[in-house]
């Protein structure tokens, strides 16, 4: 076909084009011209749509749900839900890491394991254990709290001074778990709760490290600690009123190298040494101790090791230190590194020194030389000496309810003494239920119950039964009993009477 496109046809086409666009053909009529559009063929078709499933549902908004929603919009609830989501994610991650086992553990166990970490679950377990114990030991707990005292007007009253075992906390027992358990690497040698903030516990270790914990949390929450000094801490206590300008509580600690330091509660406890306990030579007043056969001219250490620290009940700034050599030093916080007075109390370490709760002048000490000695503050020799058998007296405590009753522990027995009746023999001797050597004894505040701890880690709780009635004039009774006991020692009796008159004149 292209063969027929000669130059003539092309020329003719070009002329035609020009005629139509530029020439006379431009004004031709186009009204009558017909045009045809391409027909589009249509067809109807059906399709299927899925039915939208509807389900009748309801929402119930009670007063507290509305309250909860309000709380959330205030911003607190939002954070809580975020936290729980992230903790869920964390838990899932942990499970994935140990994924070898996670396929074998059923989802129930996984949920249980997650619950174990929930602190609310642990608290619920704690509360349930308390209630379970209460259901079984209801009577004993009532006795301990002082809610069910024995009937005062019963007819057959006998003074038997019995000790009734209420319950025992034992280390190995699976029944009772301690509510808080803190594990440390070094041995703990001393601990004490604060009197101003009872949730703070000060702990002293064998290495001289002191830590203050807040017992509100289950994990050890360290509030303050110090630099360890590598000497065991023998005694730690919270004392207030040591210095006149502040009534703040200070942590007072005694170390085995003879130093006594006070620390103010801070993140890093700084020690301020208030006393260094020297070894004493020569003859001291007090107990006539035996001469020691040492011919050392230069001792190993010039300082002796303080085992205990007791504050004077009347003067807050005076405190007494009992050492492992048996001497007791009287020191004051106003004079650092010096002692006001000292006397020899025992032949061996002094274990306990207690002032009578009813008289600020009388105190009693006990030590490893098998003796218990009574002293009055202005008399330089012991008033009374009690010896039962050749066993070290490990602790003693005055009864806070009776002026003349005190309890001492020697070996595995607990002895209850009453100065009013006889001094050469205890009123009652109770052997420890587990037969182990007792180390510490303390009365409860009402004087009705006694706690005894022993060397195997058991803590026994006793209640005192069949005790005499509480006297009205406690201090009077105490002094009268001491007079009666000192009939054969007229010189000491005279001195004691003078002390008593001084006390009476000052009140």
Q: How far is the CB of 461 from another protein (least distance, A)?
A: 17
**Residue 97 CA, distance from chain mean position:** 36
φ, ψ of residue 463 to 5 degrees: the values are: -115, 145
Interface characters, 107-126, with another protein (x: CB under 8 A): -xx-xxx-xx-x-xx--xx-
Please, which residue, 93 or 120, has the CB nearer to another protein? 120
* 377 lines the binding site for another protein (CB under 8 A): no
SS3 468: coil
Q: How far is the CB of 310 from another protein (least distance, A)?
A: 40
Q: How far is the CB of 198 from another protein (least distance, A)?
A: 23
> Who's near 368: CB < 8 A, 6+ residues apart?
346, 347, 348, 349, 351, 392, 393
In the β-sheet with 200-205, what is the strand arrangement from edge to edge?
A: 188-193, 200-205, 210-214, 221-225
> Who's near 216: CB < 8 A, 6+ residues apart?
199
Distance CA 128, CA 193 (A): 26
Token reading at 34:
């017909």
Please, which residue, 117 or 484, has the CB nearer to another protein? 117
Q: How far is the CB of 165 from another protein (least distance, A)?
A: 16
Q: How far is the CB of 137 from another protein (least distance, A)?
A: 9
Please, which residue, 9 or 87, has the CB nearer to another protein? 87
* 103 lines the binding site for another protein (CB under 8 A): no
> Positive or negative, the Cα torsion across 388, 439, 278, 310?
negative
Using alpha carbons, select from 360, 419, 341 the residue that is nearest to residue 384.
419
* 11 lines the binding site for another protein (CB under 8 A): no
Distance CA 369, CA 391 (A): 8
Please, which residue, 175 or 504, has the CB nearer to another protein? 175
Interface characters, 168-197, with another protein (x: CB under 8 A): ------xx-x--------------------
Q: How far is the CB of 88 from another protein (least distance, A)?
A: 11
* 129 lines the binding site for another protein (CB under 8 A): yes
Return the DSSP state at 26: G
Helix, strand, coil shares of the chain, percent, nearest 5, are: 25, 30, 45
Asked whether the beta carbons of 319 and 335 are under 8 A apart, the reply is: no
Interface characters, 19-48, with another protein (x: CB under 8 A): ------------------------------
Distance CA 98, CA 105 (A): 11
> Who's near 51: CB < 8 A, 6+ residues apart?
none
With contacts defined by CB under 8 A, name the span among 41-49, 66-74, 288-296, 310-318 that binds another protein: 66-74
**Residue 403 CA, distance from chain mean position:** 31
Interface characters, 279-298, with another protein (x: CB under 8 A): --------------------
* 89 lines the binding site for another protein (CB under 8 A): no
Asked whether the beta carbons of 401 and 470 are under 8 A apart, the reply is: yes
Cα separation values, 426 from 400, 430, 482, Å: 18, 10, 16
Q: How far is the CB of 110 from another protein (least distance, A)?
A: 9
Please, which residue, 10 or 125, has the CB nearer to another protein? 125
Q: How far is the CB of 451 from another protein (least distance, A)?
A: 22
Token reading at 478:
């105490």
- Selected binder of another protein within 3, 22, 131, 183 (CB under 8 A): 131
Asked whether the beta carbons of 377 and 363 are under 8 A apart, the reply is: yes
With contacts defined by CB under 8 A, name the span among 2-10, 101-109, 299-307, 388-396 that binds another protein: 101-109
- Axis-axis angle for helices 76-97, 63-73 (nearest 10): 80
* 128 lines the binding site for another protein (CB under 8 A): yes
- Selected binder of another protein within 64, 103, 151, 153 (CB under 8 A): 64
- Selected binder of another protein within 61, 63, 100, 152 (CB under 8 A): 63
With contacts defined by CB under 8 A, name the span among 8-16, 130-138, 428-436, 439-447 that binds another protein: 130-138
Q: How far is the CB of 102 from another protein (least distance, A)?
A: 11
Q: How far is the CB of 67 from another protein (least distance, A)?
A: 4
Asked whether the beta carbons of 453 and 439 are under 8 A apart, the reply is: yes
Count the residues of the shown chain that bind another protein, applying the rule CB under 8 A.
Answer: 31
Using alpha carbons, select from 280, 235, 276 the residue that is nearest to residue 259.
276
Asked whether the beta carbons of 179 and 466 are under 8 A apart, the reply is: no
Q: How far is the CB of 60 from another protein (least distance, A)?
A: 10
* 138 lines the binding site for another protein (CB under 8 A): yes
**Residue 262 CA, distance from chain mean position:** 20
Q: Which residues bind another protein (CB under 8 A)?
A: 62-64, 66-68, 105, 108-109, 111-113, 115-116, 118, 120-121, 124-125, 127-129, 131-133, 135-136, 138, 174-175, 177
């Amino acid at each position: 076909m292209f063969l027929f496109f000669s130059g003539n046809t092309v020329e003719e086409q070009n002329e035609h084009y020009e005629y139509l666009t530029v020439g006379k053909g431009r004004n031709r009529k186009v009204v009558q011209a017909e045009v045809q559009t391409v027909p589009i063929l249509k067809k109807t078709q059906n399709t299927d749509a899925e039915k939208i499933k509807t389900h009748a549902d309801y929402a119930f908004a009670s007063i507290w749900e509305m309250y909860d929603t309000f709380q959330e919009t205030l911003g607190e609830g939002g954070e809580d839900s975020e936290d729980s989501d992230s903790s869920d994610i964390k838990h899932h991650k942990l499970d994935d890491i140990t994924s070898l086992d996670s396929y074998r553990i059923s989802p129930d166990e996984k949920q249980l394991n997650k619950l174990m970490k929930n602190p609310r679950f642990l608290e619920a377990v704690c509360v349930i254990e308390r209630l379970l114990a209460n259901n079984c030991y209801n009577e004993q707990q009532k006795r301990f709290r002082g809610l069910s005292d024995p009937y005062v007007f019963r007819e057959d009253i006998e003074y038997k001074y019995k000790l009734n075992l209420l319950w025992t906390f034992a280390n190995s027992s699976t029944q009772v778990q301690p509510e808080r358990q803190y594990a440390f690497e070094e041995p703990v040698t001393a601990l004490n709760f604060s009197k101003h903030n009872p949730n703070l516990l000060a702990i002293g270790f064998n290495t001289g490290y002191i830590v203050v914990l807040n017992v509100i949390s289950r994990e050890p929450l360290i509030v303050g600690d110090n630099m360890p000094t590598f000497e065991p801490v023998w005694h730690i206590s919270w004392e207030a009123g040591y210095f006149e300008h502040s009534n703040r509580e200070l942590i007072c600690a005694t170390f085995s190298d003879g130093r006594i330091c006070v620390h103010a509660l801070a993140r890093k406890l700084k020690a301020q040494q208030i006393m260094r306990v020297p070894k004493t030579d020569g003859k001291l007043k007090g107990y006539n101790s035996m001469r020691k056969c040492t011919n050392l001219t230069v001792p190993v250490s010039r300082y002796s090791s303080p085992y205990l620290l007791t504050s004077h009940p009347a003067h807050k700034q005076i405190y007494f230190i009992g050492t492992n050599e048996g001497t007791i030093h009287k020191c004051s916080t106003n004079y650092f590194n010096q002692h006001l007075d000292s006397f020899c109390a025992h032949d061996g370490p002094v274990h306990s020194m207690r002032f009578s709760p009813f008289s600020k002048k009388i105190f009693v000490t006990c030590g490893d030389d098998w003796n218990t000695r009574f002293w009055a503050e202005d008399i330089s020799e012991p008033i009374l000496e009690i010896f039962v058998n050749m066993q070290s007296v490990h602790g003693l405590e005055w009864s806070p309810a009776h002026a003349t009753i005190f309890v001492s522990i020697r070996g595995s027995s607990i002895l209850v003494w009453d100065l009013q009746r006889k001094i050469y023999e205890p009123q009652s001797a109770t052997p420890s239920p587990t037969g182990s050597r007792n180390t510490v004894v303390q009365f409860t505040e009402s004087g009705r119950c006694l706690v005894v701890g022993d060397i195997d880690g058991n803590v026994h709780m006793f209640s005192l039964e069949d005790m005499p009635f509480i006297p009205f004039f406690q201090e009077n009774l105490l002094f009268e009993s001491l007079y009666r006991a000192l009939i054969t020692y007229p010189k000491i009796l005279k001195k004691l009477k003078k002390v008593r008159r001084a006390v009476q004149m000052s009140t």
